[in-house]
């Protein structure tokens, strides 16, 4: 098969993936993977890859676990456990502005930015609307760099990297985001918060425990018993059970949470991501791309940030970049340091993307404008990408 036809198939698959994923993430991956397969594999080979993907126990357990995680967030939202956690932190005005979106951002939830927006609004009296919208977005994604059950979980799995070993490599970028956020968004905030009601230790410890219990169980059982994704499924299941018991929701209310959170979408996304990656690996697209002369720094920083910006997603750019990187530099080239730079760069594009759902709902809630939001974000984003570029140049 000629290289021209293979390139047409690859570009068509990416175009369809990105366009469809704006409405339906897992369907976009499925269509993109199948189109790529039709241009590079036989129907028998495609069927073999599909069956191999959906029958892989590690992918299956990961997919089920990722479907459970938003249910934990949904239960905590419905029972107001997250709001209880924030109200018992008893930190100052600047602390609440940073922590309330950060804590809500630890669990993937549809419209999650709207959950922290009222707390940012309450704490941010006197702060400009565009600054509050930027705070809500910037700090909502802060802990994702060090919390193992968010976007890091599936993306590190795709790269074949232990999520807990990767986190130390992401801590410097976590600090960059925190420092830039404080300087550009928080430093000028004045005033204090008068908390209503008495401090409740129980109200602080129970929701905080639910958030950290799953990664503790996952890490402990994975290293003690070497059971991988089984430990992850156990951890998130225990967290869900405790959140349900603590919430005192009825079975009917819990079913309402399930309908609202649509956990099957998250499960199907994982299967779609790995199907696209596995079909790419099975095709001869890697040999074609390997002939392109581009630097690894430009690929993981420049193209990574661009894909994050145009897709408004994180998993999708990682799914696209990994096979391209493997084609050019081999799987052994995707070190933990390389992955950290790529993840950080994608995130910077994602944070300012006009198709990022959190950006749109935050701007709408605070009655800001996309123009003012972009103006407030451009300086910290540029500085962040300069840091990523320097790190990539030093690494390569």
Provide DSSP, 208-267. HHHHHHHHHHHHHHHHHH--THHHHHHHHHHHHHHHHHHHT--HHHHHHHHHHH-HHHHH
Mean pLDDT of 144-171: 93
| Residue 357: CB atoms within 10 Å | 16
How many angstroms separate the Cα of 311 from the Cα of each of 2, 13, 19, 23, 334?
29, 14, 9, 11, 22
pLDDT tens column, 229-288:
888 899 999 999 999 999 999 999 999 999 988 999 989 989 998 998 899 888 877 667
* pLDDT exceeds cutoff 70 at 291: no
Domain contains 78: no
Domain contains 233: no
pLDDT at residue 1, as a whole number: 54
Domain contains 70: no
pLDDT at residue 277, as a whole number: 87
In angstroms, the CA 347 to CA 308 distance is 6
pLDDT at residue 316, as a whole number: 86
Q: Is 219 exposed, middle or buried (0-12, 13-18, 19+ CB in 10 A)?
A: middle
Mean pLDDT of 309-331: 87
* pLDDT exceeds cutoff 90 at 10: no
Domain contains 356: yes
* pLDDT exceeds cutoff 90 at 83: no
pLDDT at residue 228, as a whole number: 74
pLDDT at residue 93, as a whole number: 84
* pLDDT exceeds cutoff 80 at 290: no
Contact yes or no for 185/128 (Cβ under 8 A): no
How many angstroms separate the Cα of 245 from the Cα of each of 60, 81, 262, 308?
27, 12, 21, 38
Domain contains 254: no
In angstroms, the CA 303 to CA 298 distance is 7
Contact yes or no for 319/377 (Cβ under 8 A): no
**Maximum mean pLDDT: which of 86-100, 313-327, 372-386:** 372-386
Mean pLDDT of 207-219: 89
Domain contains 251: no
In angstroms, the CA 108 to CA 274 distance is 19
* pLDDT exceeds cutoff 90 at 155: yes
pLDDT at residue 114, as a whole number: 76
- Greater confidence (312 vs 392) lies with 392
pLDDT tens column, 356-369:
878 888 888 898 88
**Residue 87 banded pLDDT, cuts 50, 70, 90:** confident
Domain contains 17: no
pLDDT at residue 221, as a whole number: 87
pLDDT at residue 34, as a whole number: 94
Number of domains in the chain: 1
**Residue 341 banded pLDDT, cuts 50, 70, 90:** very high
pLDDT at residue 320, as a whole number: 86
What rounded mean pLDDT belongs to the chain?
88
Q: Which domain holds residue 347?
A: 113-190+285-396
pLDDT at residue 356, as a whole number: 84
* pLDDT exceeds cutoff 80 at 38: yes
Domain contains 75: no
Mean pLDDT of 204-220: 89
């Amino acid at each position: 098969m000629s290289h021209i036809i293979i390139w047409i198939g690859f570009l068509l698959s990416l175009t369809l993936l990105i366009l469809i994923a704006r409405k339906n993430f897992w369907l976009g991956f499925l269509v993109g993977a199948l189109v790529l397969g039709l241009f590079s594999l036989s129907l028998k080979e495609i069927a073999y890859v599909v069956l191999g993907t959906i029958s892989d126990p590690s992918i299956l357990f990961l997919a089920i676990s990722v479907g459970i995680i938003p249910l934990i967030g949904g239960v905590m939202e419905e029972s107001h456990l997250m709001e209880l956690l924030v109200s018992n932190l008893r930190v100052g005005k600047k602390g609440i502005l940073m922590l309330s979106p950060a804590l809500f951002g630890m669990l993937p939830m549809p419209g999650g930015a709207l959950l922290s927006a009222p707390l940012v609004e309450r704490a941010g009296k006197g702060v400009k609307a565009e600054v509050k919208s930027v705070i809500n977005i910037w700090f909502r994604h802060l802990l994702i760099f060090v919390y193992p059950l968010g976007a890091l979980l599936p993306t590190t799995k795709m790269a074949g990297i232990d999520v807990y070993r990767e986190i130390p490599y992401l801590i410097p970028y976590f600090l960059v985001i925190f420092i830039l956020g404080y300087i550009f968004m928080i430093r000028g905030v004045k005033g204090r918060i008068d908390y209503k009601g008495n401090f409740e230790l129980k109200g602080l410890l129970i929701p905080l425990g639910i958030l950290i219990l799953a990664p503790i169980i996952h890490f402990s059982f994975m290293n003690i018993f070497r059971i991988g994704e089984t430990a992850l499924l156990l951890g998130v299941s225990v967290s869900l059970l405790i959140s349900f018991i603590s919430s005192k929701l009825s079975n009917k209310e819990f079913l309402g949470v399930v309908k609202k959170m649509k956990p099957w979408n998250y499960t199907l996304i994982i299967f779609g991501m790995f199907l696209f990656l596995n079909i790419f690996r099975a095709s001869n697209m890697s040999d074609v791309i390997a002939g392109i002369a581009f630097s690894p720094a430009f690929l993981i920083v420049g193209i990574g940030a661009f894909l994050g910006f145009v897709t408004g997603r994180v998993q999708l750019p990682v799914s696209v970049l990994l096979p391209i990187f493997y084609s050019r530099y081999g799987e052994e080239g995707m070190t933990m340091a390389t992955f950290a730079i790529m993840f950080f760069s994608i995130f910077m594009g994602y944070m300012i993307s006009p198709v990022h759902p959190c950006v749109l709902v935050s701007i709408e809630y605070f009655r800001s404008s996309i123009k003012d939001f972009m103006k407030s974000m451009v300086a910290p984003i540029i500085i962040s990408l300069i840091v990523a570029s320097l790190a990539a140049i030093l690494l390569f």
